Homo-oligomer: A and B are copies of this chain.
Amino acid sequence: MMRTRPLKVALLGCGVVGSEVARIMTTHADDLAARIGAPVELAGVAVRRPSKVREGIPQDLVTTDATALVKRGDIDVVVEVIGGIEPARSLITTAFEHGASVVSANKALLAQDGAALHAAADQHGKDLYYEAAVAGAIPLIRPLRESLAGDKVNRVLGIVNGTTNFILDKMDSTGAGYQEALDEATALGYAEADPTADVEGFDAAAKAAILAGIAFHTRVRLDDVYREGMTEVTAADFASAKEMGCTIKLLAICERAEDGRSVTARVHPAMIPLTHPLASVRGAYNAVFVESDASGQLMFYGPGAGGAPTASAVLGDLVAVCRNRLSGTTGPGESAYAALPVEGMGEVVTRYHISLDVADKPGVLAQVATVFAEHGVSIDTVRQQGKDGEASLVVVTHRASDAALGGTVEALRKLDTVRGVASIMRVEGE
């Protein structure tokens, strides 16, 4: 049943991921043809620097005119691995208009303009697939969108940024401070020269927006995601976490409210118990927990970045999109029918670990405990350590809303006996 006319693929971008996509398309051509039911042919590669030698890619396929490539009209699938908003967005829209389906690894674009891109794909009856946009090689979009299509997902909790996990793992295992661990990550190539997108949580927030939208069948934009980076995490925080039997991870957390009528999405550092499977995710690996009504707890683990792993995800999508084209259909598109509101951080309910510097005199604990009680925040444990008239008070709360906790901290700061709030960290995964 093999068709002999090949399906034509235009590759936009030929960096770390793109060059791996091209390499695998060549070396695994026979397997891809057998799995799709027709050969796939690399019809063009759009790059910025055409003079650079790219092993295995014939020079006559290389062009700097990406727009002309996607407008050719004979392209079946456009693979977009440029990244960033423009020109990727215009190129993808143009691709749909000219009859191509699209496979993208572009998390920033999907998080910002996913709805519009899906609408454009639908309008032209084309596919838009982007497994590679979240957690590299780890199958996550497809399991959420298809395997769990008959289930009700309530929570997605994961480590979706390898750079920050490398840094936090290093701080945890060596006692290093943030800057020292970042320097090592940079030296080893795990962090970019400007690490802002990773360490400030922008990258993870984009992934959280995509995951929340797919998991809850609703639209979640990048702006809906609460975001807190991990640059303020200190060696002292790790010491506190250890005392609690915890470690610290930068987590992306997407949750359905208990009444099911709204959702939240957030990225921030959090303590999680050492017994939680996410605690043992080392180095630059990613892992995502998914909790659903029927399936219970599932975990997906693997390399979250890198050329070859990301290319693996791109090629899985490429095979699916090519099959869809051969059978004249499209895969499941955007599913946003639930149209649930996305609540702000104030509505998030979790536990907190708060370190206070207080005066070491009688009555301080009673004062502090009263403030918590007045704000409806119930205390789980409290530990006081004093020396030389100064003391530190570590309070771990039961579950409370972020708004209630915020009010509590504001009131604590006003107490004469509270010299300062040394740290506040959420406690997750319990």
- Where the two chains meet, the residues of A that have a C-beta atom closer than 8 Å to any C-beta of B are 20, 24, 28, 31-32, 34-35, 131, 136-139, 142-143, 146-152, 217, 277, 280, 292-303, 306, 308-309, 311-320, 323-324, 327-330, 332, 335, 337-338
In the bound assembly, the distance between CA atoms of A301 and B158 in angstroms comes to 14
Q: How many copies of the shown chain assemble into the complex? A: 2
Looking at the complex, which one of B20, B24, B138, B217 makes contact with A298 (CB distance below 8 Å)? B138
Can you offer 8 A-B residue contacts whose CB atoms are under 8 A? A32-B150, A142-B143, A293-B308, A294-B311, A295-B312, A296-B309, A298-B300, A327-B330
Looking at the complex, which one of B149, B298, B302 makes contact with A302 (CB distance below 8 Å)? B298
Closest 3 CB pairs of A and B: A150-B315, A137-B295, A139-B147
In the bound assembly, the distance between CA atoms of A418 and B285 in angstroms comes to 47
Could you tell me the distance in whole angstroms from the C-beta of A150 to the nearest C-beta in chain B? 2
B323 lies within 8 A of A308 (CB):
no
Q: List B contacts of A151 (CB < 8 A).
A: 24, 312, 315-316
B299 lies within 8 A of A149 (CB):
no
Q: List B contacts of A318 (CB < 8 A).
A: 150
- With A327-B329, A332-B323 as contacts: A150 and B314 at CB distance below 8 Å: yes
In the bound assembly, the distance between CA atoms of A31 and B320 in angstroms comes to 24
Q: List B contacts of A32 (CB < 8 A).
A: 150
- With A302-B296, A309-B295 as contacts: A316 and B150 at CB distance below 8 Å: yes
Could you tell me the distance in whole angstroms from the C-beta of A207 to the nearest C-beta in chain B? 17
Q: List B contacts of A35 (CB < 8 A).
A: 149-150, 217, 332, 335, 337
